[in-house]
Amino acid sequence: AQSVTQPDIHITVSEGASLELRCNYSYGATPYLFWYVQSPGQGLQLLLKYFSGDTLVQGIKGFEAEFKRSQSSFNLRKPSVHWSDAAEYFCAVGTGANNLFFGTGTRLTVIP
């Protein structure tokens, strides 16, 4: 069965600092991997996705993620965080039925 683990419930970073959000997955086949962002009271917006090919994928808002098969990880990174990046971030794995299985999320706080 598939599963997604986001080990950090809450992360606080200073504006301008670098960011890495962790995601580990378990899935029997080649995974389709996603990162979504959610602002309070809003829906989810797709940041980036990995289907195949280059293991470093670029997304919107300056985010990138690296797929590491040997570690079953898909960590999200940003070199310099902006105050507007404060939100909740969800990692997800796509299954064969075109469904998404989500992690429990990481809440990001950005301090000035």
Partner 1 sequence: DGGITQSPKYLFRKEGQNVTLSCEQNLNHDAMYWYRQDPGQGLRLIYYSQIVNDFQKGDIAEGYSVSREKKESFPLTVTSAQKNPTAFYLCASSQLGQGIWSPLHFGNGTRLTVT
What is the binding site for partner 1 (CB under 8 A)?
4, 9, 32, 34, 36, 41-46, 49, 51, 90, 94, 97-105
Considering beta carbons, is residue 42 or 84 the nearer one to partner 1? 42
CB of 49 to partner 1, least distance (A): 6
Considering beta carbons, is residue 89 or 110 the nearer one to partner 1? 89
Distance CA 32, CA 104 (A): 18
Q: What is the DSSP code (8-state) at residue 22?
A: -
CB of 20 to partner 1, least distance (A): 19
Considering beta carbons, is residue 34 or 74 the nearer one to partner 1? 34
Q: For the beta carbon of residue 41, count every other beta carbon within 10 angstroms.
A: 5
SS3 85: helix
Distance CA 2, CA 100 (A): 10
